[in-house]
């Protein structure tokens, strides 16, 4: 009994040893909800573990360091944290697209409609802060079907900017959005790609 158990736990340890920083954190603190939703409220989506997310920012700087990045574009609200903690290492500003034009929002905006499949959303960015010829790194916390990122790409294109790449913390690979973007020639880099997850057993398989 003892030795078999030891073998299993050693195997588990060696698998965990191959995981990167974010994958380990997801294994430790992520909660799988019904409907293929992963909750990471303890460090990314509600409470923000700033030193930890800052390490992810450093990682994105390594991954996209050879690119020209003039600005990082994300979408409110949950992309702002990772975008800012990456922008520190690039030394560039962050622009976050707003989900609806508030009363104090500029009227002169680029706009994307019909943003998600189940709800008509308007996502806007002021023409003041998104300019022709700018090299943009798009970032978000999650990538699932890819609607959010597609919308951000659309905004950059409207402005005449250049999409240098897309940096994602957690990609749900089984939802296909990331691969669709890659197939269209976009440089998508995700720190953790979930291939499979099971709410009942609590298991997660990474690509
Ligand atoms: P997409 O537009 O790619 O389908 O979804 C991306 C957006 O939906 C992200 O901005 C993220 O806020 C949210 N999202 C999608 N799947 C998940 C998930 O499993 N967990 C969390 N916390 N957010 C998700």
Q: pLDDT band at residue 176, thresholds of 50, 70 and 90?
A: very high
pLDDT at 14 over 80: no
pLDDT digits (tens, 9 = 90+) for 31-65: 999 999 999 999 999 999 999 999 999 999 999 99
pLDDT digits (tens, 9 = 90+) for 122-167: 899 999 999 999 999 999 999 999 999 999 999 999 999 999 999 9
Q: Residue 16: what pLDDT?
A: 59
Range from 2-6, 131-135, 170-174 carrying the lowest mean pLDDT: 2-6
Average pLDDT, integer, range 103-118: 75
Q: pLDDT band at residue 100, thresholds of 50, 70 and 90?
A: confident
Q: How far is the CA of 142 from the centre of ligand 1 (A)?
A: 5
Q: Residue 107: what pLDDT?
A: 80
Point out the ligand 1 atom lying closest to the alpha carbon of residue 44: 22
Point out the ligand 1 atom lying closest to the alpha carbon of residue 151: 2
Q: How far is the CA of 30 from the centre of ligand 1 (A)?
A: 14
Q: Residue 67: what pLDDT?
A: 98
Q: pLDDT band at residue 84, thresholds of 50, 70 and 90?
A: very high
| Residues having CB within 6 Å of any atom of ligand 1 | 37-39, 45, 78, 140-148, 172, 177
Residue nearest to atom 19 of ligand 1 (CA): 37
Q: How far is the CA of 66 from the centre of ligand 1 (A)?
A: 28
Q: How far is the CA of 116 from the centre of ligand 1 (A)?
A: 10
Q: How far is the CA of 170 from the centre of ligand 1 (A)?
A: 9
3-state secondary structure 69-121: CCEEEEECCCCHHHHHHHHHHHCCCEEEEECCCCCCCCCCEEEECCCCCCCCC
User: pTM for the full model?
Assistant: 0.90
Phi, psi torsion values for 61, nearest 5 degrees: -65, -40
Q: Residue 105: what pLDDT?
A: 72
Which of 32, 142, 147, 174 for mutating ligand 1's site (highest number of atoms within 8 Å of CB)? Answer: 142
Point out the ligand 1 atom lying closest to the alpha carbon of residue 145: 4
Query: What does the buried/exposed string (b/e) look like for 6-33 if buried means 16 or more CB atoms within 10 Å of the residue's CB?
Result: eeeeeeeeeeeeeeeebbebbbeebebe
Residue nearest to atom 22 of ligand 1 (CA): 39
Q: Residue 111: what pLDDT?
A: 92
């Amino acid at each position: 009994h003892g030795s078999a158990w030891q073998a299993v736990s050693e195997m588990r340890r060696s698998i965990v040893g191959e995981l990167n920083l974010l994958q380990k954190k997801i294994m430790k603190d992520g909660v799988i909800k019904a409907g293929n939703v992963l909750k990471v409220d303890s460090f990314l989506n509600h409470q923000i573990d700033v030193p930890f997310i800052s390490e992810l920012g450093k990682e994105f700087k390594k991954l996209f360091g050879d690119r020209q990045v003039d600005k990082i574009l994300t979408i409110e609200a949950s992309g702002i944290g990772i975008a800012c903690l990456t922008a520190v290492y690039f030394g560039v500003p962050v622009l976050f697209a707003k989900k609806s034009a508030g009363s104090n929002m500029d009227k002169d905006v680029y706009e994307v409609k019909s943003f998600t499949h189940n709800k008509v959303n308007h996502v806007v960015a002021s023409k003041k802060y998104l300019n022709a010829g700018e090299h943009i790194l798009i970032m978000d916390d999650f990538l699932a079907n890819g609607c959010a990122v597609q919308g951000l790409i659309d905004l950059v294109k409207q402005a005449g900017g250049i999409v240098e790449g897309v940096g994602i913390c957690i990609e749900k690979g089984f939802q296909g959005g990331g691969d669709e973007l890659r197939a269209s020639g976009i440089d998508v880099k995700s720190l953790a790609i979930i291939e499979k997850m099971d709410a009942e057993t609590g298991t997660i398989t990474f690509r």
